[in-house]
Amino acid sequence: MRDSMMIHQALALPRFALPIFTRGFGSNGGVFLHQCRTKNPRGVSFCAADDQIASSKSKKTRKVVEHVCLLKAKENLSEEEEKDMLDYLYTCQYQMRGIVAISVGCIGDRNNEDYTHGLFMRFQRKQDLDKFYENPFFLKVLNEHVTPFCHGLINVDYESEVEDDILAIFRKGEEYNYGEEFVLLVTFAKNASEKNTKDAMDSFAQLTSSLPSLIVQSTQGSNFNDSSKEFTHAAVVRFRSFDAMEIFIEGREYKDMWRSQFEPFIEKAIALHFSVDPVGTDIM
């Protein structure tokens, strides 16, 4: 209860407050363990000085294409149906070319939009994403194992850059095996200038890249999905743990940035998160 109150106070921003993060809900057993609180085995150690040194190093980057899908599962969805749906989504990477990274899980927020599950995929090129949308296997998974159990979904696609390193591009290695996936979707107002929008997104990128002790990787960009224009921009942040995400959300830097760079210029915003745990490799 005390943690929930602290988070509520930290997110109590005027007009466009980000959602309250709760311990949420989820299924247990099977391939996926959708725990809304992920423990970092090594603990969370935050050192601003070390982060500043690490973030100051220039790194070569490579463009990637990010795909975010948020699902609204039906209330009567059984645990077995949920597991089946998420298993099929996760194992798409073994059946289709072009997917270089994936994470999926149960959203840990009781949010006003009623989103219950999140899916993140990374592609190397836009052409790979286009092929993904048209892939017969994916369409079959969607028609047989997703849409029958959901009453709505939204897709957001954007281009971003990550460190030009195989582990960073493919999100491989020990530090990517667990953590908390944080998704931020925003709609900038029509009267917001290009500079307003760029300054806001740049400030978010600068802040997240300056905190490697809390954040494994962060990307952000403009939504280019023509069939889903509810949100204009998106960001995905992989935190090292739920605790790391709490430290970031409760931090003065984040709250000040939100109030000054985002709040005056946006119409809508939603922030969600889901736990990432080591998963099996069963192919459906």
Q: What is the 3-state secondary structure (H, E, C) of 163-203?
A: ECCHHHHHCCCHHHCCEEEEEEEEEECCCCCHHHHHHHHHH
Whether 91 and 102 have beta carbons less than 8 Å apart is answered as no
- Assigned fold of 2-23+45-276: Alpha-Beta Plaits (3.30.70)
d(CA 181, CA 189): 26
pLDDT in tens, 154-194: 999 999 999 999 999 999 999 999 999 999 999 999 999 99
Give the largest CA-CA distance in the chain: 51
What CA–CA distances, in Å, run from 236 to 67, 75, 183, 186, 272?
10, 26, 5, 12, 10
Instruction: Kindly report, residue by residue over 205-228, the tens digit of the pLDDT.
Output: 999 999 999 999 999 999 999 999
> Tens of pLDDT along 26-44?
332 222 223 333 334 344 5
CA 101 to CA 217: how far, in whole Å?
A: 13
Q: How far, CA to CA in Å, does 256 sit from each of 52, 99, 248, 260, 263?
A: 18, 36, 12, 6, 10
The domain locations on the chain are 2-23+45-276
pTM: 0.81
pLDDT surpassing 90 at residue 20:
no
